[in-house]
Amino acid sequence: MGFKKDMIELTLLAVPAMIWFILFDYLPMFGVAFAFKQFTPRPGQPLFKNLFVNSPWVGLNNFNFLLRSSDMPKIMFNTLFYNIIFLVAGIVIPVFLAICLTEVHGKAFSGFVQMIMLLPYFLSWVIVGYCLYGFLATDEGQINHILRFFGKSAVQWYRSPGYWRAILIATGIWKGTGYSMIIYMCSITAIDRSLYESATLDGAGFSDRVKYITLPQLKTTVTTLFILNIGSILNSDFGLFYQVPMDSNSLQPVTQTLDVYVYKALMQQANFSYSAAASFLQSAVGCILLVISNIVVNRLNRDEG
């Protein structure tokens, strides 16, 4: 009797969220069919009938055309290039800073630094875009004024793709570093302090302690975040690549990533099939990589005992 009552009540409590998940996560999953269909909707008919009945299957044709289109190599390169850089920089820089900041004297100073460095993470890409615009605007921008002051000619930043790889990487690091740093600091301070004390008694210097205690202890956090990020290797921060360069056409060669392509193919060219094929690629590759890296990491951990 009690069992049944528990069952009904607890299920009822879960139902609202379940409905949300069904509508906004599970229902769109059927939409992967878009990637394998030539979408030919008939007006006035429901979406799923249009998709499954009215549109013919075309197998892998959409992927074929998508991957053979002339822009695709560049888009793929950009996506992977930025992601790999952010993956590495997102571990190395924050871990280094977290180790440095943890040992600093003075709680107030550390807290203040953490607060200021966390702030960019909680600004939207739109805001970040305008912060950058303050420096890079052609006429009023701070940098061009400095250039003119020293007698050099101004640069049309939003039309010079050459600079933007560096600018985008710097902006991405600027926004994300504080957040990751604090995450790593949380795991560092969770380490048992007596480990350090006994190491010091045994004559270990600071670098030894970092090498033999801190870094090994951080391994779990690093691998977890690594796995999560590897799952989105074909995804990119849409805002960073679309809004921060102000959707400038001349910057496209270095700013167009798969997410920007998916958005533009859908909203500007109404090219459902290609857009769907591209986003299916993102989901599928991400899912596979997530599973593989999970298995690999588990095996490595087991081997170490």
Partner 1 sequence: MNDYVRPEDSAYSKKVNRIVVCLFTILSFLCFLPVLLVMIVSVSSKESVRDFGYSFFPHGFSLEAYRYLAASGMYLARSFFNSVLITLLATILGLVLMCPMAYSLSRKEYRLRGVLLVFILIPMLFSGGLVSSYMVNTQILHLKNTYLALIMPGLCSTWYILIMRNYFMDSIPDSLVEAAKLDGCRHFQILTRIVVPVAKPVIMTVAVFEMFLYWNSWYPSLLYLDSNHTELYPLQYVLVNMERSIETITRDAQYMSGMQTYTPPSVTIRMAMVVIVILPVMILFPFFQKFLKTGMAVGAVKG
Of residues 248 through 267, those in contact with partner 1 by CB under 8 A are 262-263, 266-267
Q: What backbone torsions phi and psi does residue 235 show, to the nearest 5 degrees? A: -95, 155
Which residues have a Cβ under 8 Å from the Cβ of 132 and sit 6 or more positions away? 167, 171, 244
Region from 83-91, 127-135, 161-169, 297-305 binding partner 1, contact rule CB under 8 A: 127-135
Region from 15-23, 59-67, 77-85, 159-167 binding partner 1, contact rule CB under 8 A: 15-23
> Which residues in the 183-222 window bind partner 1 by CB under 8 A?
183-187, 189-190, 193, 196-197, 206, 209, 220-221
Q: How far apart are CA 226 and CA 208, in angstroms?
A: 25
- 90 touches partner 1 (CB under 8 A): no
55: which DSSP letter? S
Min dist CB 247 to partner 1, Å, is 9
Region from 56-64, 75-83, 128-136, 158-166 binding partner 1, contact rule CB under 8 A: 128-136
Min dist CB 253 to partner 1, Å, is 23
54: which DSSP letter? I
Which residues have a Cβ under 8 Å from the Cβ of 233 and sit 6 or more positions away? 80, 83, 87, 285, 286, 289
Q: Which residue has the tokens 């990533």?
A: 257
Considering only residues 75, 95, 101, 213, which one is a binding residue for partner 1 as defined by CB under 8 A? 101
- 239 touches partner 1 (CB under 8 A): yes
Sign of the CA dihedral with 193 first, then 197, 203, and 205 last: positive
Query: Could you tell me if 10 and 34 are in contact, meaning their C-beta atoms sit under 8 angstroms apart?
Result: no
Region from 53-61, 115-123, 158-166, 295-303 binding partner 1, contact rule CB under 8 A: 115-123
- 122 touches partner 1 (CB under 8 A): yes
